[in-house]
Structure 1
Amino acid sequence: EAMMRKGFPLDEVAVIYARHQQVSRLMELLQKKGIPYRTRRAVNVLDLPLIQNLRTLLEYLQAEFVKPYSGEHLLFRLMHFTFFDIRPHDLARLALHLSPDSGQAPARRHFWRDAIAERAFLKKCGLKKPAAVTALSGFLEAMLSEHANCSVPAFIERIVNRSGLLRHLLRSKKGQPLPQGGVYQNLQALYTFLDFVKNEASRNPRMTLARLLEIIENMDANRLSLAIRQSASPASPQEGGTQAVNLLTAHSSKGLEFRTVFLLDCVKEQWEPAKRNGNYQFPFPDTLTLSGETDEMEARRRLFYVAMTRAKEGLHISYAAQNDDGKELQRTAFIDELLPGAKLELRQAAMPAAAIAGAQAVLLMESKPAVEPFDREAVQAVLENFSLSVSSLNKYLRCPLSFYYENVLQVPVVASEAATFGFAMHHALQRGFEQMMLNKAHLYPPPEEFVRLFKMEMERLRGLFSPKEFERRLGSGQDFLRGYYSALAPAWPREVQVEKNFKNVEMNGIPLTGVIDRIDFSGSPDDLKSSGTVHIVDYKTGSQDAAKLRRPSEQYPHGGAYWRQLVFYKILFESWRHHQFRATSAEISYLQPDAKGIFPRKTIAFEPGDTAFMRDLITETYAKIMRQEFYEGCGEPDCSWCSFLHRQGQVDTFSEAEIEELDD
């Protein structure tokens, strides 16, 4: 930053490192400080937000062409794309008017595609810029009409031109601080992607859009990249010839020279070869050693030398004494070898606390995406009918902004294939238990009946799976049910309630709702006047991570997601009607085996403080929701809504595995 202020040519500055992962935080810091940089790391076009957005648009059109209204979960997402120029506030107004809980939704209109096409409805919503929404609707309908009437390359070219994407790019400001996000690279990415589509079409003249999307999906699954093609000089990656700091690995620095070089993070674990267990080392012929070297350590030493000798005037070698966790780091042996002969001395550099705090503040900038608060009265009208479930509780704790989009605006979100599979497994168990309860002798049906019920439900849900995934899930589900039945059916109780749906339940005036998979009674569930205990069972087909059952601690103040769920269910059950039964224990029963072939059952006995803790958490969370404190996201990199709003990048789905596993 100081060099840039003094007018030092940034093209003559290089930061050299051993591995790309070492520089990710530096790249983020440079970007947020507005310091231009370039990296020689290969850019995968398919990972760039612009191409991901284009892919989302193609996926929507394909889904709607095959089955109208099946792409609703994608439509809300693509309406955020900047090249459609739709105000986020207008999207919020649309969502609220279409929400069933708002009392304003038209009686016969439940689909976004229909809503955005009707000018009268848009006018009723009070949009600030309805023309942009109308234009999008017209564009989508026009593209759907041309889907089957032109080749895939021609279809995509029309999308690029008619959507406003290309016009938006050409209208963008030049001289972006990052070549990764500037006009130049976006144009090159678009050129590369269209060229790829044309090449695929030339190999297969009958290629359909569905086939193209399948090819791209397979490339993602197999980590095959589509390298960006440069049609201009790589020496000037930014418009206007903006100079930039060079970020490159020691390998890619070979043959280059710079006036000033910074060797970054020169510690043992990054620059030296990792030690291998001697039991797994095998001798190789001399001709097969790394780069002809007899010793991998020697190869790394030469690489370090290459990096050092890239400097023409100034060389700065640095390393940290500790990592982020406070663990001591050892500098690389190459520095120790260098010191005596070069008559150099180590100088300990201490960064002022204010400078460190300043850098941390910069890194935190915009890490938590936020949206403009919507009309308070309109949102309150939706919240009047809101009941807190354990999934909405956990969603709010995970990310308030996700709660806003999915629970307040109620935007379309399609369930994942894993969640749909879990639903079919739950359904089979529910119907099997119901057959037992209808049987005079209270006998459970044989395992093949559970398998039959599962197969019927999977067939009903077939459209929510890809063909390959359907066959895989169908086969594994049958095996899981047979194994689960064999292991646990002999101990199944007879006095039970299954898939119990709790509504109109209140805890201290807070409305609660939820569905409990199974409730095992010590007495008769039909005689609520008697007293007794119950054991709560929740089925899982997802993660078997033990951390999800941990109790609250200083490090994890809210406890694990499964622990919260079970205690929430205890409160839900005990707050339901007037009965004397008390939930004393609960379990997570996994419907698929672990690595040892065992179907785990993780049981907890409720402790005196569990209920009080969860009651406080419910009260606090509900109060925040009622105060409408949900317009700022969590900022976590794995949060789908935050990632989408922060970068407008594509996310596979807005459904979250941890929330779906709660299955209520």
Structure 2
Amino acid sequence: MKVFETIFEESGMLRAIMSGGNPSTMLRTSGITERFDAINAFFSELKGLVESNPKAMLPDLFKYLETIEKHNLFIKKRGGLPRAGSRGRVRLMTAHRSKGLEFDHVYIIGAYDGHFGGRRSIERLPLVNSVYNLGHNELSSKQPNIEDDLSRHSSEGAEADERRLFYVAITRAKKGVTITYAKQGADGREQLPSQFIGEIKKDLIEELSAEGGPAFGWEKDFEEKKHLLFSVAKSSSTPGVGASLTPGVIPDFAADQEFIRNIFERQGLSVTALNNYLECPWNFFYSNLLRLPKAQNKHMMYGTAIHRALKDFFLQLKNREIPKENLIDSFELYLNKQPLNDRDLKEVLEKGRESLSGYYDQYYKTWERNVLTEFEIKGVDILAGRGRSSKEPEVRPQGAIIHLNGNLDKIEFIDSSNSVNVVDYKTGAPKSRNDIEGTPRLRSGQETKHKKMSNYKRQLTFYKLLLDQYENGKYKFVSAELDFIEPNDKGEYKKEKFFIEDSEIVELKEVIVRVVDEIINLKFWDKYCENLDCQYCGLRKLIA
């Protein structure tokens, strides 16, 4: 994994992608997003290969790629960035693949009998019962025809499956569905509409005929202009490397802004993304918006294995007693799936065994067992404040909805009224309360009027904001704590619990509104962080 990341960064591949055209159109050029999608798809495939074989070497990768090429297989894209001008475009998929998705408008094509329902099954020529039971005609005439029953039930089952699939397709729409079918098939035979169309209430249907109606105009328009639809798109950007942006000026500002907003609205804002932005806007841009592929280091892989092991452990602990060995075995299982070299594996394996053993001994008798683990919250919306004046040229978040996301390590139920304590695991060295609070260390007699909220405290405050808005306050946030899995130098395990104040929520909301404003209006474009060696600011210079 690290080899691929190194090649990607040091070979000039990233530079070629970022500067492979006019920088003024870099953000919204479809070629850019497609290349990033392809790289991320390959990186995801590589991660899957490594998880199945942590000891895989470069020859194994080449053999795997040769197999893909030999059999003409496709590497599946997972997610990906929205295409430039993606609004107003159409997504094509099967009815099966549409499950769980929603769209304003859905078009169901090929809704003719035999395709959606009414499939004909080939039946064998029925034989007279006496053929089966020679000499036992009287007995056989009283027996049910099992083969006929099976055929009938099989046909009914297939029809029911088709009906459910048609229902899935229809219910993907939020505003309207258009169902189409051709009256004549490719073989010239006449086709009838699917029987499922006839099962829809008549008052819900508006029939559009292709002969003389609106659909006729659409067909005619398509025939006249299909040479335009299927022609190769011409880029309006100026080719060549080395074009530059005028400092403080972003050409075609509205189009770039629209592209960023499309990505941002789809992804939402997590506390990790927020902290990345506050650390360096370009860290956020590359890590959270464009999502550059990046390999985990040994500390991150260690943390991943710890989190997964604790998730499994607490899921089992709800109903029965779980020995320490189960927790450690689970950790070893997940760690062995990581692409660690022998030296690093031995180091973190020993570290994890020792830490989890002491952690178990310290807390096993006092752990709350009524918990939720790895609780994911998506699409919690907060109102960003009052609406903007119509005279303001910028697209401001005031009055707009901001989508927040998060993943909570553990939620402990304190009582029967859904009061909860949120727990976040930390695998690094335990921090002091002052470090977590963001309180600066002062000399004796010094005072400070300003206390900057730390990433840790912002994370816990963000979780309260999420839970308070989740399903109309389904869970009552009481407290949050950082649970350090490793002991300090004295061998002591620490937990730090916090009660989030309303003023801290107000402060966090103000930060979120400011950050969102800077993101969607590209105010960060000419900003750099204070770290002179920042790799993300260095990447920014590739498009400057």
Decide whether the 8 Å contact of 1:72 with 1:412 is kept in 2.
Answer: no
How far, CA to CA, are the matches of 2:313 and 2:521 in structure 1?
Answer: 44
Query: Residue deviations 1:156-197, cap 9 Å, x none?
Result: xxxxxxxxxxxxxxxxxxxxxxxxxxxxxxxxxxxxxxxxxx
Decide whether the 8 Å contact of 2:260 with 2:520 is kept in 1.
Answer: no
Q: What SS does structure 1 have at the residue aligned with 2:486?
A: coil
2:413 pairs with 1:536: no
Partner of 1:445: 322
2:537 aligned to which of 617, 623, 642: 642
Q: Which runs of 5+ in 1 are unaligned?
A: 1-58, 64-69, 109-121, 133-367, 525-530, 649-664
Query: Residue deviations 1:569-614, cap 9 Å, x none?
Result: 0111111102453212111111111111112111112223222222
Partner of 1:601: 495
1:455 aligned to which of 332, 337, 342: 332
The one-letter code matched in structure 2 to 1:536 is V
Aligned residues: 324
CA RMSD of aligned residues (A): 3.9
Deviation at 1:455, TM superposition (A): 0.8
Query: Residue deviations 1:479-499, cap 9 Å, x none?
Result: 111111111121100111111
Partner of 2:436: 549
The one-letter code matched in structure 2 to 1:479 is E
Name the structure with the higher helix share: 1
How far, CA to CA, are the matches of 1:481 and 1:499 in structure 2?
Answer: 19
Decide whether the 8 Å contact of 2:257 with 2:520 is kept in 1.
Answer: no
Q: Measured at CA, do residues 585 and 610 of structure 1 come closer, stay the same or move farther in structure 2, by a change above 3 Å?
A: same
How far, CA to CA, are the matches of 1:555 and 1:639 in structure 2?
Answer: 30
How far, CA to CA, are the matches of 1:129 and 1:624 in structure 2?
Answer: 29
How far, CA to CA, are the matches of 2:248 and 2:345 in structure 1?
Answer: 36
Give TM-score scaled by structure 2 length.
Answer: 0.52
Decide whether the 8 Å contact of 1:95 with 1:410 is kept in 2.
Answer: no
Query: Residue deviations 1:7-42, cap 9 Å, x none?
Result: xxxxxxxxxxxxxxxxxxxxxxxxxxxxxxxxxxxx
1:479 aligned to which of 348, 351, 354: 354
Deviation at 1:427, TM superposition (A): 0.5
Partner of 1:42: none
Partner of 1:565: 459
Deviation at 1:533, TM superposition (A): 2.1
1:395 aligned to which of 267, 273, 276: 276
The one-letter code matched in structure 1 to 2:413 is F
Q: What SS does structure 2 have at the residue aligned with 1:385?
A: helix
Decide whether the 8 Å contact of 2:427 with 2:486 is kept in 1.
Answer: yes
Deviation at 1:630, TM superposition (A): 2.8
Q: Measured at CA, do residues 73 and 502 of structure 1 come closer, stay the same or move farther in structure 2, by a change above 3 Å?
A: farther
Decide whether the 8 Å contact of 2:408 with 2:424 is kept in 1.
Answer: yes
Q: Which runs of 5+ in 2 are unaligned?
A: 38-79, 94-231, 384-400, 441-447
Query: Residue deviations 1:344-388, cap 9 Å, x none?
Result: xxxxxxxxxxxxxxxxxxxxxxxx999997833322322231311
Instruction: Summarize the alignment of residues 236-247 of structure 1 with structure 2, pairs less than 5 Å apart.
Output: none
How far, CA to CA, are the matches of 1:419 and 1:130 in structure 2?
Answer: 39
Decide whether the 8 Å contact of 2:467 with 2:477 is kept in 1.
Answer: yes
Partner of 2:411: 519
Give TM-score scaled by structure 1 length.
Answer: 0.43
2:508 pairs with 1:614: yes
How far, CA to CA, are the matches of 1:459 and 1:494 in structure 2?
Answer: 28
How far, CA to CA, are the matches of 1:588 and 1:605 in structure 2?
Answer: 12
Q: What SS does structure 2 have at the residue aligned with 1:445?
A: coil
Deviation at 1:125, TM superposition (A): 7.4
How far, CA to CA, are the matches of 1:597 and 1:456 in structure 2?
Answer: 26
Aligned-pair identity in percent equals 25
Partner of 2:285: 404
Deviation at 1:551, TM superposition (A): 5.0
Instruction: Summarize the alignment of residues 205-224 of structure 1 with structure 2, pairs less than 5 Å apart.
Output: none
How far, CA to CA, are the matches of 1:88 and 1:451 in structure 2?
Answer: 53
Decide whether the 8 Å contact of 1:73 with 1:412 is kept in 2.
Answer: no
2:33 aligned to which of 93, 96, 99: 96
How far, CA to CA, are the matches of 1:478 and 1:125 in structure 2?
Answer: 57
Decide whether the 8 Å contact of 2:436 with 2:457 is kept in 1.
Answer: yes
Deviation at 1:390, TM superposition (A): 0.3
Partner of 1:495: 370
Deviation at 1:535, TM superposition (A): 0.9
